[in-house]
Structure 1
Amino acid sequence: MSRTSSRKGRREQGGEDLPEISGIVRRGSQILRTIERIENFTKNELKGLVEFLGDVQGHTILSFLDERHYGAGLFFLQNVLSKHVNEAVKAKDEDKKVILIPFNFPPELIHAFENAVPLTTEMMSTIGALALQGEGEPYWDYAVSLGIPDYVCSANTTALSSMLMALKGLELAPDAMISACPGSCDANSKIHEFVAEYLSVPEFMVDKTGEGASDYQLYRRLFLKMVEELENFVGEKIDEDRLIKVVENGNKCTELFWELHELKKFSPCPVPNMFTLFSCGTRFTMWGRDEAVSMFEKLVEVAEKRRRRGEYPAEKEIARSIWVYTGYYVDLYDTWIWMEDNGITYLTDILNSGGFPQVYEVFDRKDALEAIVKTAWDYGMTRQMSADNMGLKWTEDFIYLAQDLKANCAIYCGHHACKQSQAVFRILRDGMTRKGIPVLKLDGDCWNRRITPVSVLQEMILNFVNDVVVKGRRKRRR
């Protein structure tokens, strides 16, 4: 179902109080085009670049270009993230539609169009938090100044507030938006709706009402209706060959995803912590494209090489952690890389593994669309939050993942905006504890460092690992 804003004059009336700053997409595009020119570099050159960039951007570039990744981080920036952002920027000149999508909508559907490109909200917020001077804070602060409550989610509000810069020509304006979160993330769905109205662009919505067979049939009808509406909006019927191609590429990525998952079962884990971020970042942006297949081939190749060589950065792996919700994206170097340096493996999280991707047989357009519908229905977080009992489904899925990956502890980020996960965390913690998996509850904002300093997160994680995970293991051995 689509909805078009009734605020027809908003573009002309608004914008007077907007901050004089370019949007995340515009600024991120410039940075990523520069990164595309990076080839081989020495340690001294990298050190000089980090000193020039400063602490925030310097830590980000260090985390992506860490030598343990054997070039996978640079490959992700150049062939996945840069293409995702800059194809959207170029789309305006090529008379293509830019469709803004949330994290839980399959980008492969939009990639199947010849005259439309996807742009993923949460990936733009993450660029803001990691790569820009001032991080995403100016955009968040502007959203709050409009009267948006400060307990909404920074994962989407940061980027969507940036989109309002389009009123002054300082940001790329989407041609349409898709909302796939009603029923699973109210904050996400409402902020998308607000910005769609503010910018007077159509919004296409699909709602998941439950997890039963009748719920699926309703969801399927709504999804296919949305596809028809998108085709009318873009002005083309999706070509059958292109549709089959994106699903087949998704199948290849899925097979490689599970190869990487199997490699994570080795201890010490040969898969670098950052590979979880590269994996879900690719899923949210370029899934269905040849670039996504190449990215996963690179991840598996590097992980297998590290396994053969027995490479692990710390003296030993002392904790195998599974993050039951999201990670923190305010300082990758002092969280993801820091954990690995201290013998703490980040196995996976809900964004990466929560959807349990599947391989689908496709022979025609109908098969391909059915595969995409099933994928969206079972997407990470949508699968758990739209279940008949969110707490039990979340617990069931993560007990399975923890046991399958041989995790000896779990960490909940405690993202303050997600009232739904906060409300049922006790169910998850009790369920995992009964299975012998201790759970640490952090508190903070995963895209805004002002809420909880990274140093506090480090202290809490280290205390938990040393006082609960390590001591608990020693007691069991006696």
Structure 2
Amino acid sequence: MILLAEVKSGLVLRSYQIFKTIKKIGPYTNNEVNGMLSLSVMEQNHTLRSFLDKRHDGAGLKFLQEVLGNHIVEAVEAKENGKKVVMIPFNFPPEVIHLFDNAVPYTTEVVTTIGVCALTHQGEPYWDYALSLGLPDFVCSANTIALGSVLLSKEGNEFSPDIMISAAPGGCDANSKIHEFVSEYLEIPEIILDKTGDSSMDFELYRRLFHQMFTRLEMEVGEADEDRMIKTLEKANEANELFWELFELKKLSPCPVPNLFTLMSYGTRFTMWGRDEAISMFEKLVEVAESRRRRGEYPAEKEIARSFWVYTGYYIDLLEFWLWLEDNGISYLNDLLNSQMLTDFYSPETKEEAIDALAATAWNYAMTRQMGAENMGLRWVEDALHTIEKLNANCAIYSGHHACKQSQAVFRILRDELSRKGIPVLRLDGDCWNRRITPVSVLQEMILDFVQNVVAGRRRRRRN
């Protein structure tokens, strides 16, 4: 166990100092990168090597500076700039917060991932601290690490949000309860957005709740300007169009899109949607992938497995997971987090229409759409098959996070249905944000065994 005294301050305040430095990095040579890496601890070394890898052609640094860097820096500096910080979960559209001139979003799961990738000891001290307060160890590390750190604000060792939105009731009990605990413990006002079912009546109720949530937000941060709202959603449309351009490139075999671009995609989606940074980031992702396609360069040049991850990936070591997959001929085409099903574009002309459109987006968000459905297994199967067929994936992998009781409960249904369609499925068990549960070396061994003996074996039999 790592004592909090050893790290002294919260995850966000520590990350803030790191990103202030990263934002100053200009064009770099390999020697300069190697010199910087020699001064970093293992966690930072592997993360920086992953993002600055030449196959990403500058996209990784852009993501660190303009997406994650801005997300953290703006949250920490919000109050001195007269703005309020709104904490949101990953299944809530951040463009709702960007509509307001006086509000800044803080996405729990993104901040947890930043801590795991950027800090010495990763998120372990904050996880341990949350459990020391009496929280059970079956809560989800994806949000408990960031929220465990926020709890330190009571002693002045971390910054805290001004208001919280909980959009996970019905989709993730662990997520909902840890947010509720933090709200009560720190006396931060919380707005709960509950999805009750899938019928038209359920959506009408959800839409009304969404309007009530929006009114409450306006009471906290000031009234939203209609012109700003429309402009924000127009920018979201531009980014959405680029998202689907990148998706089209993933259909090619071998896939020219680097694995880590999936993480960059939803890292941008969960933080910067509706802003210029999202458009600029996706322009870079598409540009790099398209250039690689034209040159005939592919991250996994000997593409053995075209994998779709039916839940999420692992973030405990980017180098030994995302880039390691490529080096072993495994393309990470997409996952549930990045399968937003956002084929519709915003087209509002009034403030009320904009709020309705945002409600429809939130209703259809990843996790809310699948785990919040009346039939979790059926909706999960439908969405997984849809993406697998579109991307021509030849295998599926489930990360098996112990905290997600909903997905664990219906995984057998998913596996059986995919198997009937001829898609082999690998089940892994390990915490995606806590390396102490299952070491990355064990995950590598299981993935290689599956790919070499099942996926590659099927390909050989087809050729024969």
- Equivalent AA in structure 2 for residue 267 of structure 1: S
1: CA distance between counterparts of 2:21 and 2:442?
34
Query: What is the rounded CA distance, in whole Å, between the counterparts of 1:314 and 1:347 in structure 2?
Result: 11
Residue correspondence of structure 1 range 207-218 to structure 2 within 5 A: 207-218=194-205
Contact 1:25/1:124 (8 A) holds in 2: yes
String of CA shifts for 1:152-196, please: whole Å, max 9, x gaps: 100000000100111121111111100000000000000000001
Structure 2 residue aligned with 1:95: 82
Q: CA separation in 1, counterparts of 2:304 and 2:418?
A: 19
**Pairwise CA RMSD of aligned residues?**
1.2
Judging changes above 3 Å, is the alpha-carbon distance between structure 1 residues 307 and 423 closer, same or farther for their aligned structure 2 residues? Answer: same
Structure 2 CA distance for aligned equivalents of residues 266 and 249 of structure 1: 27
Once the 2 structures are TM-superposed, how far is the Cα of residue 388 of structure 1 from its aligned partner? 1.4
For residues 90-121 of structure 1, give each alpha carbon's deviation from its aligned partner in whole angstroms, at most 9, with x where no partner exists: 11102211111100111111111111111100
Q: Any conservation in 2 of the 1:315–1:343 contact (CA below 8 Å)? A: yes
Matched, 1:248 2:248: no
Looking at structure 1, the residues matched to 65 and 448 of structure 2 have their Cα atoms a distance apart, in angstroms, of 34
**Aligned equivalent of 1:33, options 16, 20, 23:** 20
**Residue in 1 aligned with 2:296?**
310
In structure 2, what residue type is equivalent to 1:161?
Answer: G
2:436 to 433, 446, 450: 450
Aligned counterpart in structure 1 of residue 8 of structure 2, from 21, 40, 43: 21
Deviation readout 1:281-340 (Å, 9 max, x if unpaired): 000001000111111111111111011011124441111000000100100100000001
Check whether the contact 2:257–2:299 (CA below 8 A) recurs between aligned residues.
Answer: no
Letter in structure 1 aligned against 2:316? V
2:177 paired with 1:184: no
Task: Tell me the CA shift for residue 356 of structure 1.
Answer: 3.4
Output the amino acid matched with 1:253: A
Residue 100 of structure 2 is aligned to residue 113 of structure 1:
yes
Aligned to 2:381: 395
Matched, 1:165 2:162: no
Take 1:114 and 1:315, find their aligned partners in 2: how far apart are those partners? 46
**Shift of residue 134 of structure 1?**
1.0
Q: Which of these residues, 323, 335, 338, is aligned with residue 349 of structure 1?
A: 335
Deviations 1:187-216 (A, max 9, x none): 000000000111111001110001110000
Q: Does 1:477 align with 2:463?
A: yes
Corresponding residue number in structure 1 for 2:161: 174
8 A Cα contact 1:156 1:188, kept in partner:
yes
Answer yes or no: is 1:142 the counterpart of 2:132.
no
Q: CA shift at 1:357, angstroms?
A: 4.7
Q: Structure 2: how far apart are the matches of 1:232 and 1:29?
A: 29
Give per-residue Cα distances to partners, 1:41-83, cap 9 Å, x unaligned.
Answer: 1212212222211221100001111111110010011111111
Is the aligned partner of 1:412 residue 2:398? yes
Paired AA for residue 218 in structure 1 = L
Q: Name the SS for the 1:74 alignment partner.
A: helix
CA drift at 1:18: 7.1
The answer as to 2:426 corresponding to 1:427 is no
Q: Distance in 2 between matches of 1:18 and 1:126?
A: 19
Give the conservation status (yes or no) of the 8 Å contact 1:247–1:371: no
* TM-score, with structure 1 as normaliser: 0.95
Moved more, 319-328 or 366-375: 366-375
Contact 1:247 1:372 (8 Å CA) reproduced? no
In structure 2, what is the equivalent of residue 284 of structure 1? Answer: 270
- Please report how far the alpha carbon of residue 450 of structure 1 lies from its aligned counterpart in structure 2 after TM superposition: 0.4
| In structure 1, C-alpha distance between the alignment counterparts of 2:449 and 2:144, rounded to whole Å | 32
CA distance in 1: counterparts of 2:445 and 2:4, whole angstroms: 38
Q: After superposition, give the CA deviation of every residue in 1:422-456 in whole Å (9 maximum; x if it has no partner).
A: 11000000111111110000000000000001000
Number of aligned positions between the proteins: 461
Aligned to 1:436: 422
Give % identity: 65
Partner of 1:384, secondary structure, is coil
In structure 2, list runs of 5 or more residues that go unmatched: none
* Alignment-derived partner of residue 267 in structure 1: 253
- Aligned runs of 1:360-379 on 2, under 5 Å? 360-379=346-365
Paired residue for 1:124, among 88, 111, 133? Answer: 111
Q: Secondary structure at the match of 2:80?
A: coil
CA distances 1:11-45 after superposition (whole Å, capped 9, x unpaired):
xxxxxx97562111111111011000111112122
TM-score scaled by structure 2? 0.98
Residue 396 of structure 2 aligns to a residue whose secondary structure is strand
Within the candidate set 40, 46, 52, 2:39 is matched to 52
Structure 1 residues 127 and 474: alpha-carbon distance in aligned structure 2, compared to 1, 3 A threshold = same
Aligned to 2:217: 230
Counterpart Cα distance in 2 of 1:100 and 1:309: 42
Could you give the per-residue CA deviations for residues 391-420 of structure 1, whole angstroms, max 9, x where no partner exists?
110011101100110000010001111111
SS of equivalent residue, structure 2 residue 152: helix
Partners of 2:99 and 2:299 in 1: how far apart?
41
Instruction: Output the CA distance in 2 between the equivalents of 1:336 and 1:195.
Output: 32
Contact between 1:354 and 1:381, CA under 8 Å: does it hold in 2? no
1:200 aligns with 2:187: yes
Shift of 1:229: 0.8
C-alpha contact (below 8 Å) 2:426/2:450 kept by paired residues: yes
What SS is found at the alignment partner of 1:347? strand
